[in-house]
């Protein structure tokens, strides 16, 4: 049904995508759930490609998440197989068998070790994923792989997404120009506890796996872990970062402090920009969304506390429906702050919408001008700022409004 949904009004066009040397990829129709569209993606990586990953914190993860967690300590990647339409979650022994058969087929085609094959699945939970459909489609798909297959891959991993999502940046690493490019999918069941539903990023930089992992784990905190569509953490969340080494930049020590090393400064910034772009594209495609909410919290007792307050606001159905109705109902923001269990004081709290302070020191601002706020609420980008007045903790998160479209999509998801 994903291809029949109207494109989100918040959609952004694909950027002009480049090539990541050492990566070939493509998509094919395997008939897993959808008809008349691609639903299987294969990527092949040059020998020596390193990998990092973060995964869902759900206690009911899919079989592909278990598979990738087991492969990650080896630190190398040879191939990636992704399917849409069936999440291979809550499928017992059959789920593992599908992973095993799919990985074996991919390893043979790519000529790589089994423990360097990564798998991801997205779609309906609780239905057996027939590995025969995947393994039957893989040989012809492998023959068609191309360095320019990124857009096809971005479309092939979509479920209820209404537009493909990709981002690209370049950076200088030890005097060498490197490229970072990624794709993502996600529209509903998005309240990441590590990453979005699925995201895959590759670079031609030569970087050791421990350096990649350190960067990815840290930067996920301020990108994918700062978005929410509906407060529901997926069983299939996965973000993988691959580094092919094809740029042949000077060696980076595996034991360097990846978060502070000055030689990695430009790369860190470019990677963060790619992850942030992808995360915001997911929110822009929130199921039924018509408005993007940017929520800033300051004055909290800690950054962690500020994050929890911000997510409480972004996840509140009452806040989200007020935004959908273009109602600057600051009382609902106060409610969300007060309910989340974090330190807050009614008498030091202030709330601003669209840059206009509406409430301060426990009451509405006397005589504030509603005109610019009303105009702001009619736009697609809604800014909410809360100052708790308690400390120096800050956070920034992104959410979207809640419309009847969300119910329409999810009420008929399996039908």
Structure tokens at 30: 């395997």
Average pLDDT over residues 44-64: 95
pLDDT band per the 50, 70, 90 thresholds, residue 17? very high
Q: Do you know the residue count of the chain?
A: 415
* Predicted confidence (pLDDT) at residue 3 exceeds the cutoff of 60: no
- What percentage of the chain exceeds 90 in pLDDT? 87
Q: What is the pLDDT of residues 319-344, one digit of tens each?
A: 999 999 999 999 999 999 999 999 99
- DSSP 8-class letter at 152: H
SS3 at position 223: coil
CA distances from 230 to 186, 254, 294 (A): 12, 38, 15
**Listed residue (125, 115, 102) closest to 30, CA to CA:** 102
The structure tokens 């790619």 sit at: 274
Which is the catalytic residue, given 38, 196, 220, 233? 196
What separation in angstroms does the CA of 307 have from each of 25, 295, 321, 342? Answer: 37, 10, 21, 10
- In the predicted structure, residue 48 carries a pLDDT above the cut 50: yes
- For residues 26 and 42, is the Cβ–Cβ distance under 8 A? yes
Distance CA 245, CA 288 (A): 40
Catalytic residue check, 196: yes
Beta-sheet strand order (sheet of 165-173): 50-55, 238-243, 198-203, 176-185, 165-173
Backbone angles phi, psi at 315, to 5 degrees: -95, -10
* Domain annotation for the chain: domains and CATH numbers: 2-284 (3.60.70.12), 292-411 (3.10.20.340)
pLDDT at 414 over 80: no
Q: Which residues pair with 229 in a beta bridge?
A: none
pTM of this structure: 0.95
Q: Whole-angstrom Cα distance, residue 88 to residue 98?
A: 8
pLDDT of residue 413: 67
The per-residue pLDDT of the chain, averaged, comes to 95
Band the pLDDT of 415: cuts 50, 70, 90. Answer: low
* Cβ burial 234-260 (10 Å sphere, 16+ → b, else e): bbbbbbbbbbbbbbebeebeeebebee
**Predicted confidence band at 193 (pLDDT cuts at 50, 70, 90)?**
confident
Helix/strand/coil percentages in the chain, nearest 5: 35, 25, 40
Q: Could you tell me if 255 and 82 are in contact, meaning their C-beta atoms sit under 8 angstroms apart?
A: no
Burial per residue of 112-142, b for 16 or more beta-carbon CB atoms within 10 angstroms, e otherwise? beebbbbbbbbbbbebebbbebbbebbeebb
pLDDT of residue 192: 78
Q: Which residues line the annotated binding site for substrate?
A: 159, 185, 196, 287, 410, 415
CA distance 212 to 198: 18
How many helices and strands, by DSSP H and E, does the chain display? 11, 15
Place of tokens 């997510």: 311
* Binding-site positions: 159, 185, 196, 287, 410, 415
Query: Within 13 A of 55's CA, how many CA atoms are on the CB side?
Result: 23
């Amino acid at each position: 049904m994903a291809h029949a949904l109207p494109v989100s009004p918040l959609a952004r066009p694909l950027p002009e995508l480049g090539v990541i040397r050492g990566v070939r990829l493509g998509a094919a129709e395997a008939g897993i759930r959808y008809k008349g569209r691609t639903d299987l993606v294969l990527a092949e990586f040059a020998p020596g490609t390193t990998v990092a990953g973060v995964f869902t914190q759900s206690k009911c993860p899919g079989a592909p998440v278990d598979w990738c967690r087991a492969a990650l300590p080896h630190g190398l990647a040879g191939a990636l197989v992704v399917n849409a339409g069936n999440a291979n979650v809550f499928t017992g022994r059959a789920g593992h068998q599908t992973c095993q058969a799919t990985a074996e087929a991919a390893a043979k085609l790519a000529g790589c070790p089994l423990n360097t094959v990564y798998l991801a699945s997205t779609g309906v939970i609780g239905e057996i994923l027939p590995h025969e459909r995947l393994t039957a489609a893989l040989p012809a798909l492998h023959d068609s792989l191309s360095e320019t297959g990124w857009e096809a891959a971005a479309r092939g991993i979509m479920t209820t997404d209404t537009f493909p999502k990709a981002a690209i940046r370049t950076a200088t690493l030890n005097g060498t120009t490197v490229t970072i490019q990624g794709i993502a999918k996600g529209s509903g069941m998005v309240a990441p506890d590590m990453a979005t539903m699925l995201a895959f990023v590759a670079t031609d930089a030569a970087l050791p796996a421990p350096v990649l992992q350190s960067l990815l784990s840290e930067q996920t905190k301020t990108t994918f872990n700062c978005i929410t569509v509906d407060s529901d953490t997926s069983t299939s969340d996965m973000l993988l970062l691959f580094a092919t080494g094809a740029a042949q930049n000077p060696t980076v020590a595996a034991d360097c402090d990846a978060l502070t090393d000055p030689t990695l400064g430009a790369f860190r910034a470019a990677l963060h920009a790619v992850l942030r772009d992808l995360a915001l594209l997911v929110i822009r495609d929130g199921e039924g969304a018509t408005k993007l909410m940017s929520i800033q919290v300051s004055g909290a007792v800690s950054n962690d506390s500020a994050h929890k307050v911000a997510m409480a606001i972004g996840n509140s159905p009452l806040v989200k429906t007020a935004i959908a109705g273009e109602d600057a109902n600051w009382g609902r923001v106060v409610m969300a702050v007060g309910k989340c269990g974090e330190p807050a004081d009614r008498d030091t709290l202030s709330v601003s919408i669209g840059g206009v302070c509406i409430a301060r020191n426990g009451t509405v601002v006397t005589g504030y001008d509603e005109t610019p706020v009303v105009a702001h609420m009619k736009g697609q980008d809604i800014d909410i700022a809360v100052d708790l007045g308690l400390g120096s903790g800050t956070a920034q998160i992104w959410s979207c409004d809640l419309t009847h479209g969300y119910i329409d999509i999810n009420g008929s998801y399996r039908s």
